[in-house]
Chains A and B, each alone.
Chain A
Amino acid sequence: MSKGEIIGIDVGGTFTDLVMIDHQGRVRLAKSPTTPENQAYGVLAALEQGAVKLTQADLIVHGTTTTTNAVLERKLCKTGLITTFGFRDVLELGRRTRPQAYGMKGNFRPIIPRDLRLEVIERMDAQGQVVTPLDEAAVVVSAKQLLALECEAVVIHFLHSYANPAHEALAAKIVRDIWPNAFVVAGHELLAESREYERGVTAAVSASVQPLLERYIASLRHELASAGFGGEMLVMNGNGGMVSASEVSKEAAKTVMSGPASGVIAAAATGKASGIVNLITYDMGGTSTDVALIRDATPTVSSEIEVEYALPIHVPMVDVRTVGAGGGSIARVNAAGLLEVGPESAGADPGPICYGRGGQEPTISDANLLLGRFETANMQSISGQATRERVELVFQEKLGNKLGLSAVEAAAAVVRIANAKMAGAIRMVSISLGADPRDFALFAFGGAGPLHASALAKELGTPTVLVPARPGLANALGCVLADLRHDYVRTLNRPFDHLEAAELHSIFMDQIAAGEEMLDRESVDIQERRRVYSVDMQYVGQSHILRVSLDTDQPEMGEVLKRFRAVYKERFRIELEGIQAKIVNVNTSVIGVRPPLDLSKLIDPAGRMTALADAQNGQRRVFFDGVWLQAPIYWRDKLPLNFEITGPAIVEQMDTTVLLEPGDVAKGDALGNMIIRVGVL
């Protein structure tokens, strides 16, 4: 049982991050470049850099982008499909719109190509009644054909298998008898929800990344074992929980969005420990910005996430929305003479001009540099250097001259417009989730997040910003903080008057049993077991669903209805008493709660100064609202625990810069977080 060291390792796009907490609560951190060809090397390098003694480690929790990258780059294993006669093209036709509302162009690549999509005769109807029996011999023929075509994995996806999985289960059994490995996925096993495209894509994604994930985890475990690791390894899932490495690849689709999820888990845990339980997380990196909502210390989870255009993965995942580009967003003056920021991005390569990798277009990061808001010197992610003069020249030529502004004024305009746009996007996310941003605190992390957080908070009317101790390591921290978690969704799709309480109760019981069994199989130290129940409901005739939390697995039907009407009214300010309601999905999460960890040592207490002045490291000019002001620069790790700083000021640390605007007041809390009360707009 893990009473000793816990190691969280997250593989991100650029860096592999490590957070280790030993049995005395001491913390060690490391950051090492990600090795895309085999992420295991980067992991080993981070372990080495952190001087981790693997023989003493009890638990490694790992976040990996192996499956994410495979899907986005379509570097998938050769996977076949066996499906209902007449429906092999569902995965290609989709429920198509087009990639952009305007512009009749764009393309879509199905997860499984047409020649590997085979049909067998069988048909179930929507009530789960057999219309046409399964042609079992055809299943054998199809499986052999797919093997001959060198498929490594196979998906069995039949219409209405959520209503009656008999055909799909039988076909899966037949295929498993022939198939040389375990990479056989039946659609209903992953997701018992109606909508053939969504269920089919979820299964296809899962099957086609499963072999990759399994091989990766096996090779990593082998490498770790060779280095003396004898403990347990867990892997982060997109639902913000973790599962044991031996189980994870069976439902590989769940790992596709795990990276962003673990950052949100860290935010929820950090906020809870600090007594701030309602948060909007704001993770701004070089290439993208992610936003998520945390209510009552619980991240919002959705089962309707689209990983990219027309690629839905309908398993419960932390609802992280990408709201636009990051520091690399390019600014330009359009034909109307107006300044635009984004949507084009300089990305990570060449990146902003100030990265010195050949970037020629003015970006948000470059604007921050010109305004004195950050210096490239401290940034680990920046390799080369371009002179400030070079950046200034580009801003003058490409922006300032066209706007009648100096380069610095143009840079200020870029930041102002970028903030207004990002605030708008964050607002849209929060209201689409039924939340008013004024009721939340902004949790800023990622490399560029803390630089813009104060301004965004003002735009949003959010009074408080929380900058955690280690904004650049949130994902790795999420790994060590996450609970074990298993989610179950069952589609009912039944009006209230066609539903007995007993049926609802028995679904909850089945889901609980399945989750408890999974927890029993994972030999990880947990403090308690928790269950979360909810139903997704709507009024008959609607298509959007609303989640209604329940506090028991044996709810009374009248109470369920009452809750739904209350939630609906709160969300839409509309009462619809006369209209019948319906339960669409029944959901249970079974959670193994891990013992809490002490976060106060994320910043080494020994390095903290007793006086604020001793943490200061000079000052520099920063451009605020039309004037240059002198801002003191503090080194985050040296700040006294209970510091109080009034803006303007800059707080620098290993992987980010926090900007305090005039009027802001930042205080330290006992856990090393920085809580900023933002000044008025």
Chain B
Amino acid sequence: MSLDPITLTVIQAGLQQVCDEMDLAFSRAAFSPVIAEADDRSDGIYSAEDGSLIAQGAKGLPVFVGVMQYSTRVLIERIRDGETAPPEPGDVYIVNDPYLGGTHLMDVRFVRPVYRDGEIFCWLSNTGHWPDTGGSVPGGFSAHATSVEQEGLRLPPVKLFKRGTMDQEIFQIISSNIRVADQRIGDIKAQAAALDLGEARLAALLDRYGDDTVKAAIAELRQRAATQMRALIQEIPEGEYNSVAYVDSDGVVNEPLKICLKVTRAADFLTFDFGGSSPPCQGPMNSVLATTLSSVYLAVRHLFPEAPISAGAFEPLRVIRPEGTFLDASYPRPVSGCAAEVSQRIAEAVFAALVEAIPHRATAAPAGTSGNFALGGFDPLTGKGYVMYQLTGGGYGGSADGDGLANGCSTIGISKAQPVEILEQNYPILFRRYALHEGSGGAGKFRGGFGLDYEVELRRGEARASFVMDHGRYGPQGALGGQDGETNKVTVWRSGEAYMPPHLSKDQDIKMEPGDRVHVRTPGGGGYGDPAKRDRAAVAEDVRLGRYSSEAAGRLFNYRQSD
């Protein structure tokens, strides 16, 4: 069947609309603030045959770009091999196993078949970040975990809904193994309702244009997305581009983890070779293959935002499987840091490799850490335990277009930070400062953006602080002569004495008493271009506004008061 390009575009918009509506429905009804407020979720449509991505919601969390196609594919294979029960209409599978095409345990996927005339036409799937899935620390980010069992409950694909009805037994197994279980039923219903809605909307689209037409359009759109990506890749001159990026440490062994990347543009393919990267690590800074792949896709999309999100667009991107490295970890390696931290470092490696080839598109490295800070304790005033969970931003890298943004959100997220006033309403804490991390922007012709500097005090009861952050050892890389951004800094003030975590930005269960404080300064972005070439008026303005001291400006930008 041959389709005119106009019908194609209209069907493409229709498929996109189905996904966007699922995203919206999911966020609006969810309980987990990570989903409802931070949009840490994604919804998409996947092919019946191999689960390849047909369309994905535009407002889905970037780190989920393409990732659900792997978990859907694994599900299809397991059904074929008889390892998972075959689907029936109205079934919804639940799965969070990182090694079956996943990310970390907190990202829980629902997968639902869409039937037309008794046959599976496609799959709908969504992922939501649950605030907890059990494990040794609330929230799942254990800096010291050495196996996945310590990180939480691992679910292979099982049917949570059978013919439209929730299986109470499976639900009870889940709810008995996670914290704050009473609210999860709200998230489960929201997540399933989004797929319900998606099926209804997709059915309306199929009724309107006809199943065969839509099927043909999906195939044609896939080809054309590949064509479009190939055309975009042509902007990169043929050749090899290398970069290196580091993760501070894995939280257990205090040694850096190295990401080596060689990007090759030959003909209309981009090949990503991570050969030479560090082997799998003991702590939770491993990545699973699906997350490594989606990190590459998300980095490429940051460089080429006009590219569609579909399996076709990924075709010209060839990632050589990084076997034997920490970017392709297998059971039982702990993986909680993969989606939040390692993914960002992979993206930075891609930016750093390509910034010389496409200097107008790539930026210097952004802050690149999710700034995960968890505080768990008991509040004597309310008589209840609590878990606070804070994510913060940092400075973005400078670019050909100008200075980096201050306090931008993580590279892989698109979430708003929680207000100080809301945090203080909910937990026995008092922020003493919430300010610009002065001097943190990497010097450059276009400097990096500034990080965040906050200090928070425990007011009542005992609590334990945990961190999974990064860029504590190495600041975000500068580009094209620009300098690195300032590193992430964590200090815990206990009874007036400063405690610095040995791993700098990773630690867990640091005991705190009332009056003790946690002081965090998040990274600044890398600078772009030679700092000496920075516009003198811009340097003077930064000094006037106290963003850099005049001493620092002199050192970094060769600035003199008389300038």
Contact = CB atoms under 8 A, between A and B. Distances in A.
A106 B405 contact: yes
A126 B433 contact: no
B75 to A, nearest CB: 25
Contacts of A97: 408-409, 414-416
Interface stretch (B8-16, B148-156, B333-341): B8-16
B409 A96 contact: yes
A539 B20 CA distance: 24
Q: Which interface residue of A88, A159, A196, A541 has the most chain B CB atoms within 10 A?
A: A541
Contacts of A574: 29, 186, 189-190, 193
Interface in A18-35: none
Interface in A314-335: 334-335
A574 B531 CA distance: 56
B332 interface: no
Given A106-B405, A114-B545, A92 B193 contact: no
A185 B263 CA distance: 55
Nearest to B419: A195
A131 B424 CA distance: 13
Interface in B388-426: 393, 396-397, 399, 401-403, 405-409, 411, 414-422, 424-425
B421 A421 contact: no
The A interface, classified by DSSP as helix, strand, loop or mixed, is loop
Contacts of A386: none
B321 interface: no
B127 interface: no
A578 B184 CA distance: 12
A431 interface: yes
Contacts of B13: 417, 420-421, 424
Contacts of B491: none
A493 interface: yes
Contacts of A413: 5-6
B467 interface: no
Contact of B406 (A88, A90, A92, A196): A92
The contact size tier of chain A is 35 or more
Contacts of A87: 420, 433-435
B186 A108 contact: no
B171 to A, nearest CB: 13
Interface stretch (A47-55, A336-344, A522-530): A336-344
A113 B5 CA distance: 49
B189 A576 contact: yes
Nearest to A310: B416
Interface string B275-313: 000000000000000000000001001100110100000
Contact of B28 (A89, A93, A114, A432): A432
Interface string B240-251: 000000000000
B78 interface: no
B409 A338 contact: no
A102 B305 contact: yes
A103 B306 CA distance: 10
Given A87-B433, A337-B227, A544-B36, A104 B302 contact: yes
B10 A416 contact: yes
Nearest to B393: A96
Contact of B547 (A105, A114, A493, A573): A114
B425 A131 contact: no
Interface in B39-87: 58-59, 62
Contact of B5 (A403, A421, A428): A403
A350 interface: no
Interface string A81-105: 0000011111011111111111111
A428 B421 contact: no
Interface of A: 86-90, 92-108, 113-115, 123, 125-126, 131, 159-160, 162, 194-198, 334-340, 403, 413, 416-417, 420-421, 424, 427-428, 431-432, 493, 539-544, 572-574, 576, 578-579
27 contacts: A86-B433, A87-B433, A92-B406, A93-B407, A95-B418, A96-B406, A96-B416, A97-B408, A102-B305, A104-B302, A104-B351, A104-B396, A113-B545, A126-B421, A335-B228, A335-B230, A403-B5, A413-B5, A424-B13, A424-B14, A431-B25, A432-B28, A540-B183, A541-B31, A541-B186, A574-B190, A574-B193
Given A338-B8, A573-B193, A579-B182, 15 more contacts: A87-B435, A88-B435, A98-B408, A102-B62, A104-B363, A113-B545, A115-B544, A115-B545, A131-B430, A196-B419, A335-B227, A336-B228, A413-B6, A420-B13, A541-B180
Interface of B: 5-6, 8-10, 12-14, 16-17, 20-21, 24-25, 27-31, 33, 36-37, 58-59, 62, 180, 182-183, 185-186, 189-190, 193, 224-225, 227-228, 230-232, 298, 301-302, 305-306, 308, 351, 363, 366, 393, 396-397, 399, 401-403, 405-409, 411, 414-422, 424-425, 430-436, 452, 455, 544-547
Q: What 3 A-B pairs have minimum CB-CB distances, sorted nearest first?
A: A335-B231, A336-B228, A336-B224
